[in-house]
Structure 1
Amino acid sequence: MAKDEILSFFVQAANHHDFSTDITLHVNGTLVTGTIVSAASYFSSLRDSISEENDVAKQLKEALQQAKESADKRQGDVEYIHLKNMVAYLAENKTTPSDTELLWRGKISEVDGFFLGRMTDQE
């Protein structure tokens, strides 16, 4: 599946120019809404969310730090989009249950469509 070049442009702007915007993605029948962040920011936030209490956690944090450093250096084509404060709207308007801010990573080539802006619950 081909990926959307405009969406790729937004991701490159986030990765290389500290750009961030709210966006809603249509992915395989699910709406995913959140704020675009750079890959480096995503890996950094994910690393910071892990408590360093054992050897496995330490190894995970080190791997995520390496991924962040690699993302900082990466130029050119992008394959993934990263969101913070993500909410997914599933069937029947049900959202992802969470008490925390969720991070999300998805393949750009799997996104069916998007619009700028964030969906919110209408009550």
Structure 2
Amino acid sequence: MTDKPVEEKEAPEKKETQGKTLQERLAERMNSSSQDGLLQALAALIERMYPMEIGVGVTLTVGGTLISGSLISGQWYFAQLAEQLKASPQPAPAFAAMPETFREALKINLAKENEPFVSNFVHLMDARVHAPGQMPIPTGGKGALWRGRIDAVDGFMWGLITAG
């Protein structure tokens, strides 16, 4: 009895995406019940545009709290985070190399051929948290860098909100 080589079967999720147009794949994501496919597609689009430092004003609803800021790529987020950590007092500079490691890992995911990039996180710059009955956090000056899971976002709108 000779051993026959085992044929590798394609993963079902890979097979399902082959031959589908970008619009068909996007339509499937937009109908996902676990996370907003439109927000996921927008985050992936901005990710692919890096190194263009582009930001789109959005306001997210997360558990009844509004978070408003500019949607940016994860790569730009990690680059800015590294700069902030380098400029911070001790011991933060010791952690400054960590964001670059995450940014490089993200680049590897983006470079995979024949696999659509799926963004599971949203990254905001100049973000402010607007809780009911409270002043926006942080107050005054620039907002903060913010990262959250797309599946935790209940809804979003285009544009920024300001305290007034």
Relative to the length of structure 2, the TM-score reads 0.67
1:94 is displaced (CA, Å) by: 2.4
Which residue is 1:118 aligned to?
160
Which residue is 2:68 aligned to?
33
Query: Whose RCO is larger (CA < 8 A, sep 6+)?
Result: 1
Unmatched 5+ residue regions in structure 2? 1-32, 111-116
Please report the RMSD computed on the Cα atoms of aligned residues, expressed in angstroms: 2.0
Which residue is 1:71 aligned to?
106
Matched, 1:62 2:97: yes
1:30 is displaced (CA, Å) by: 0.2
1:73 is displaced (CA, Å) by: 2.7
CA distance in 1 between counterparts of 2:98 and 2:127 reads 23
Which residue is 1:12 aligned to?
44
What is the number of equivalent residue pairs in this alignment?
121
Distance 1:55 1:119, change over 3 A: closer
Relative to the length of structure 1, the TM-score reads 0.87
Matched, 1:103 2:107: no
Query: Per the alignment, in what secondary structure is the counterpart of residue 49 of structure 1?
Result: helix
Which structure shows the higher strand fraction?
Answer: 1
Distance 1:7 1:61, change over 3 A: same
1:48 is displaced (CA, Å) by: 0.2
Residue 78 of structure 2, aligned match among 33, 43, 47 = 43
Letter in 2 for 1:23: V
Matched, 1:84 2:84: no
1:15 is displaced (CA, Å) by: 0.6
1:54 is displaced (CA, Å) by: 5.5
Query: Per the alignment, in what secondary structure is the counterpart of residue 2 of structure 1?
Result: coil
CA distance in 2 between counterparts of 1:55 and 1:95 reads 28
1:104 is displaced (CA, Å) by: 0.2
Letter in 2 for 1:83: L
